[in-house]
Amino acid sequence: METILLHCCCAPCSVFCIDSLRQEGMEPTGFWYNPNIHPWQEYKARRDTLTDYASSVGMDLIVREEYGLRDFVAHVAEDIPHRCAWCYTCRMEETARYASEHGFSAFTTTLLISPYQQHERIAAAAGELAERYGVRFLYRDFRPGFRQGQSKARELGLYMQKYCGCIFSEEDRYQKQIQRDQARFGGAAE
């Protein structure tokens, strides 16, 4: 059976990916590396939910513990609107490096399930890093299974996050409310 290193952004996005890889005769090993997720309580909730879920479905999980608030902000502060490019590359590079150094036949990521992520950018970054590290990138368009996986995650009672992960995506989540409050209270404080 082929062993695949599966970068996991969270448990809900992992559900369909794990199931579909197993249906193809591959056994994924989960890989938690997400220094982009903030604040700490959000990071912890996602990590711990994934740890519990992996155990419940018998999937090995490697936790690369790195709460990277300062490093993340330092890398994206100059270009916040384009922060996702660095974020995808950072996580895919660590996944490709780990897969190469630990003898995995290939790697992939649960980021490829979300219709809210920049799918082509993720795949391109992973493909380039696969070449650099000499390990195969297993491309899968998991998006058709997004709703099914989310539904199963809800049935299982998994923690369901409300934003991508970084503090700036949380701000985006509340942008309409922020604008309403600014209009109500007369704009930003000076």
What digits encode the pLDDT tens for the residues 35-47?
999 999 999 999 9
Domain 2-180 annotated CATH 3.40.50.620: yes
Flag whether pLDDT at 175 surpasses 80: no
CA 12 to chain centre: 10
Residues 83-133 pLDDT 10s: 999 999 999 999 999 999 999 999 999 999 999 999 999 999 999 999 999
Is 166 labelled as part of a ligand binding site?
no
Given pLDDT bands bounded at 50, 70 and 90, which one contains residue 188? Answer: low
Residue 84 assigned to a binding site: yes
At a CB cut-off of 8 Å and minimum separation 6, what does 174 contact? none
Sign of the CA dihedral 58, 43, 2, 105?
Answer: negative
Annotation-wise, does 10 bind a ligand?
Answer: yes
Point out which residues pair with 6 in neighbouring strands: 30, 108
Within a 10 A sphere around the Cβ of 36, how many other Cβ atoms?
26
Cβ pair 67, 161 in contact under 8 A: no
CA distance 42 to 46: 6
189: confidence class by pLDDT, cuts 50, 70, 90: low
pLDDT tens per residue across span 49-85: 999 999 999 999 999 998 989 999 999 999 989 999 9
Three-state SS sequence of the chain: CEEEEEECCCHHHHHHHHHHHHHCCEEEEEEECCCCCCCHHHHHHHHHHHHHHHHHCCCCEEECCCCCHHHHHHHHHHHHHHHHHHHHHHHHHHHHHHHHHCCCCEEEEHHHHCCCCCHHHHHHHHHHHHHHHCCEECCCCCHHHHHHHHHHHHHCCCCCCCCCCCHHHHHHHCHHHHHHHHHHHCCCCC
- For the cut 70, the answer to whether the pLDDT of residue 171 exceeds it is yes
Residue 9 annotated as part of some ligand binding site: yes
6 near 18, Cβ under 8 Å?
A: yes
Q: Please, are residues 28 and 176 in contact by the beta-carbon 8 Å criterion?
A: no
- Whether the bond between 39 and the residue before it is cis, its omega within 30 degrees of 0, is yes
Q: Which residues make beta-bridge pairs with 61?
A: 30
